[in-house]
Amino acid sequence: MDDRDNERVRIGIVGCAEIARKLCRVIALTPNAVLQAVGSRSLDKAKFFAAENGLSSTGVRLYGSYKEIVEDPSVDAVYLPLPTSLHVQWAVAAARHKKHVLLEKPVALDTTQLDQILEACSSNGVQFMDGTMWLHHPRTLSMRKLISNPQLFGYLDYVYSSSTFCAPPEFLESNIRVKPDLDSLGALGDLGWYSIGSILWAVGYELPVSVMALPQVTCNSAGVILACSASLFWDRSPGCQEPTEPASATRRTVATFHCSFMAHMSMDLTIIGSNGSIHVKDLAIPFEENSASYEFTPLAKFVDLHIGWSAKPERTGILSEIPQEALMVQEFASLVRDIKRKGLPPESKWPEISRKTQLVLDAVKKSIDLGYSPVYL
Amino acid sequence: MDDRDNERVRIGIVGCAEIARKLCRVIALTPNAVLQAVGSRSLDKAKFFAAENGLSSTGVRLYGSYKEIVEDPSVDAVYLPLPTSLHVQWAVAAARHKKHVLLEKPVALDTTQLDQILEACSSNGVQFMDGTMWLHHPRTLSMRKLISNPQLFGYLDYVYSSSTFCAPPEFLESNIRVKPDLDSLGALGDLGWYSIGSILWAVGYELPVSVMALPQVTCNSAGVILACSASLFWDRSPGCQEPTEPASATRRTVATFHCSFMAHMSMDLTIIGSNGSIHVKDLAIPFEENSASYEFTPLAKFVDLHIGWSAKPERTGILSEIPQEALMVQEFASLVRDIKRKGLPPESKWPEISRKTQLVLDAVKKSIDLGYSPVYL
């Protein structure tokens, strides 16, 4: 038996959603993971998925139920791309069977549900990670270095994020992501997750003091959100030492996001500091798979007569040898292996990030339900 | 006497503010205008300005008071770069002396004041235009063509605008633009003017249904705004025919802007339609004087497996033979000449744009004063 094979984390995919194809492909590109099993609601669906994704002649086990795959002792970890309303049931079941959990976003319908999942993972000593892929792209690390540099970036003033795509009319009424019994958070869950997550990332995961949804949310006939916007407020600039001049006593950070199933594709993240600003246009899914870029404008001033800028945006290109979702699986598998082989405790960073994102998402939903009132966290 | 000289509109600059240097320079680049006079609070100041700007050996008349220059019968039109609190007095005085008025932004402290100015201009048959330069850049026209195209752009979903620069500490307490007796609107007037104007431009100047300032405005010790944000709401997508699918019955447009004297320089305008999106990073003052660009992303979809985009932003570069402020003076002078020579009435478009911008600015200010309540227009 090959020692390297022995070390690979054996992953089971629970549910054959469209996005499962994406993960299925990259598990093969990930050196420390291997696809062990695929489970669907019926064996026919699992077989169809296997055939469609070139798994037929591999040794991948196929199951006609979610129960069988989460109980399979040869499976180390599960990837759950199920509708959000099924997450608690199957993530908890997997954790109880000592499976590490890679859970698609949005992770839960609310923080109460997420806490059930996190408690099950914690008490069973298994790793939890949500499926936010862009956090694992090397571009994200490169931008983090920039905004952590007080000289280059300064304190954080404003964040703008958009997460939109233009879904066809039939999607808006009948897709899983807009069905009240399957994904009742609609665009706020599916797309707002990225925006909220990117804003929290920008502020170093300091929770806002308050959150306010902006009026005029758009819903479909079942009342599921198709488009909404919200703002997040901090009463000081997070993570940065305050300068000493008088006006700075009240330096504050504001963030605004817009998410919509009814607008042209956009994945903007704009972060304005006191000394520089960052612009990204393809945060959640880069334009191209193996490279991505961002623009940083450092210390720009007006030139004399205010007829131009002293500095222009500088583009930084970042190559990614394997796709961001493979890097996510690699990181997840690496943590799982450390738990299995070294007896290390699960990494708490990932569930903490998910929980903060969910807390803010809940607050936005509550603000909408309260008629766009501010909600304090 | 040269016929061409005879046709040139003779402009008087009233007040020697920093920005007057910029206009002084470009009047010389404008084929249909000529600098006729400069007036300041003292003759010494006017002389100093003339020396500093290479006017000493020209025939430009110098005045030691605003009164003398607005009464000079050889002056056809005035450019007023005075502190906002002085606009009513001197714009009205100029109009009563039949001078056409090019008025720096923000045009007034509120719409009541602006209406006094516009009434004086209207009843004296003189042209009014505010000093928003970017509206005259050929880039603006090029973007207008794009967003007016239903196939390329579709209906308007969201607009984001930022107008920020990082002023030194002494500016935040003592500059004209943050003095309660001179420019009491602070950053909302100086920078919010650009953001509000660009949002209104994007929606084709349809006024929003409501406006709401976002919490946590930052003020200096005199209570003048140093940083604020606001959102504007339309209960349908302006200027576009509504599609017929059910969800579209509630398609709405939202815009958000942020303005600040305490953040790195940014002049973002992002316009997201249903079919395409536009990104500009240097709207109010292009990075370079003689060229500017914008990015348009047309009809982007996910590629298979959602591992990239089917279309990337396309950059369009626009050359400007003369600077945007010269194009503004040229347009203003052209209207003035038509009034003088052909007896045409003043062009109503420009005062209408200024008035709508001021109306929204007033609503944002009112929302702040009411504790961030929505204000209906």
Residue bearing the bigger pLDDT, B364 or B57: B364
Q: CA torsion, points A255, A133, A283, B153, in degrees to nearest 10?
A: -100
Does B83 lie in the same domain as B188?
no
Q: What is the mean pLDDT of residues B283-295?
A: 97
**Rounded-to-integer distance, Cα B313 and Cα B167, Å:** 32
Res A247 pLDDT > 80: no
The pLDDT of residue A246 is above 70: no
Residues B203 and B300 in one domain: yes
- State residue A65's pLDDT score: 97
pLDDT top residue among B39 and B247: B39
Question: Averaged over A1-21, what is the pLDDT?
Answer: 80
Same domain, B171 and B92: no
Residues in chain A closer than 8 A to B248 (CB atoms): 169, 262
A35 shares a domain with A172:
no
pLDDT at A140 over 60: yes
**Best residue of A133, A158, A257, A314 to probe chain B, by most B CBs closer than 10 Å:** A158
- Name the band, by pLDDT with cuts 50, 70 and 90, for residue B6: low
What's the longest Cα–Cα distance across chain B? 73
The pLDDT score that the predictor gives to residue B56 is 81
- Angle between helix axes B18-27 and B324-342 (nearest 10 degrees) is 60
- Clarify whether residues B331 and B316 are in a common domain: no
Q: Which amino acid is at B327?
A: L
Region of B371 (left: φ > 0; alpha: ψ -120 to 50; beta: rest) is left
Tell whether A154 lies on the interface with B, counting CB pairs under 8 A. yes
Average pLDDT in chain A: 93
**Residue B162 maps to which CATH number?**
3.30.360.10
The rounded distance, in Å, linking the Cα atoms of B306 and B304 is 5
The structure tokens listed for B156 are 């308007």
A365 located within any domain: no
Q: Are strands B225-234 and B210-213 parallel, antiparallel or unpaired?
A: antiparallel
Q: In chain A, positions 274-303, which contact chain B (CB-CB < 8 Å)?
A: 274-277, 279, 281-282, 285-289, 295, 297, 299-302
**How many domains does one find in chain B?**
2
- The phi and psi torsions of B55 (rounded to 5 degrees) equal -100, -5
CA distance B284 to chain A (A): 10
Do A213 and A316 lie in one domain? The reply is: yes
**Mutual orientation of helices A87-96 and A111-123 as an angle, nearest 10°?**
10
| Lowest mean per-residue pLDDT among A193-207, B3-17, B195-209, B301-315 | B3-17
Inside any domain, residue A369: no
Three-state DSSP state, A161 = strand
CA-to-CA dists, residue A170 to A17, A132, A165, A279, B236, angstroms: 18, 26, 14, 33, 21
In the predicted structure, residue A38 carries a pLDDT above the cut 70:
yes
Question: Which residues constitute the domain of residue A186?
Answer: 135-322
Furthest CA-CA distance within chain A: 73
- Asked if pLDDT for residue B2 goes beyond 50, the answer is no
CB B69 within 8 A of CB B46: no
Helices (H), chain A: 3-7, 18-27, 43-52, 66-71, 87-96, 111-123, 138-147, 169-174, 186-190, 192-202, 324-342, 349-369
Q: Token pair of A137, please? A: 């792209």
At B151-173, the pLDDT tens digits run 999 999 999 999 999 999 889 98
Radius of gyration from C-alpha coordinates of chain A: 22
Task: Please say if the pLDDT value at position B351 is more than 90.
Answer: yes
As for the ipTM of the complex, it is 0.94
Contact at CB, B247 and A281, closer than 8 angstroms: no
Residue A184 domain flag:
yes
Q: Specify burial of residue A219 (Cβ count, 10 A radius: 0-12, 13-18, 19+).
A: middle
B357: tokens are 């911008």
What's residue B216's pLDDT? 81
- Using CA coordinates, name the residue in chain B closest to A325: B307
> Binning pLDDT at 50, 70 and 90, where does residue B174 land?
confident
Cα–Cα dist A269/A96, whole Å:
38
Residues of B in contact with A374 (CB under 8 A): 215
- Is the distance from CB of A90 to CB of A63 less than 8 angstroms? no
- List pLDDT tens digits, range B75-113: 999 999 999 999 999 999 999 999 999 999 999 999 999
Q: Which two tokens stand for residue B135?
A: 């509206």
Q: Is the pLDDT of residue A79 over 80?
A: yes
Q: Determine the Cα–Cα distance for residues A119 and A124; give it in Å rounded to an integer.
A: 8
Of A353, A316, A324, A335, which Cα lies nearest the Cα of A204?
A353
Length of chain B: 377
Q: Do residues B140 and B272 both lie within one domain?
A: yes
Tell me the nearest-neighbour CA distance from B166 into chain A, angstroms. Answer: 6
Answer yes or no: do B219 and A252 touch at CB < 8 A: no
Is position A371 within any domain?
no
Asked if the model's pLDDT at residue B142 lies above 70, the reply is yes
Percent of chain A with pLDDT over 90: 87
For A211, phi and psi rounded to 5 degrees?
Answer: -140, 140
- Tell me: the pLDDT tens digits for A168-179? 988 998 898 999
Which residues does B59 contact at the CB level (< 8 Å), separation at least 6? none
| Structure tokens given for B67 | 């009164």
User: Which of B274, B288, B289 minimises the CB distance to A264?
Assistant: B274
Which residues in chain B are closer than 8 Å to A219, comparing Cβ atoms? Answer: 250
Looking at the fold, whether A74 and A211 belong to one and the same domain comes out as no
Query: Is the Cβ of A230 closer than 8 Å to some Cβ of chain B?
Result: no
The residue whose two tokens read 């932004």 is B105
Q: How distant, in Å, are the alpha carbons of A251, A370, B167, B333 from that of A377?
A: 20, 15, 32, 56
Task: Return the SS3 of B292.
Answer: strand
Binned at pLDDT 50, 70 and 90, residue A2 comes out as very low
Check CB contact of B322 with chain A, cutoff 8 Å.
Answer: no
The CATH number of residue B80's host domain is: 3.40.50.720
- Name the closest residue on chain A to residue B323, using Cα atoms: A307
Same structural domain, B249 and B165:
yes
The length of chain A, given as a count of residues? 377
- A312/B contact by beta carbon, under 8 A: yes
- Provide the pLDDT confidence category of residue B239 given band limits of 50, 70 and 90: low
Distance CA A12, CA A72 (A): 9
Per residue in A279-316, pLDDT (tens digit) is 999 999 999 999 999 999 999 999 999 999 999 999 99
Indicate whether B199 and B120 sit together in one domain: no
In the prediction, which pLDDT does B206 show?
96
Q: Residue B371: closest CA among chain A residues belongs to which residue?
A: A374
CA distance B167 to B265: 9
pLDDT at A124: 98
Same domain, A94 and A150: no
B114 vs B192: CA distance, rounded Å: 17
Measured in angstroms, the CA of A250 and the nearest CA of chain B are apart by 6
Regarding whether A255 and A119 lie in a shared domain, the answer is no
Query: Which pLDDT score, from 0 to 100, does residue A245 have?
Result: 52
Per-residue pLDDT at A216: 81
- Do residues B350 and B107 make contact, with C-beta atoms less than 8 angstroms apart? no
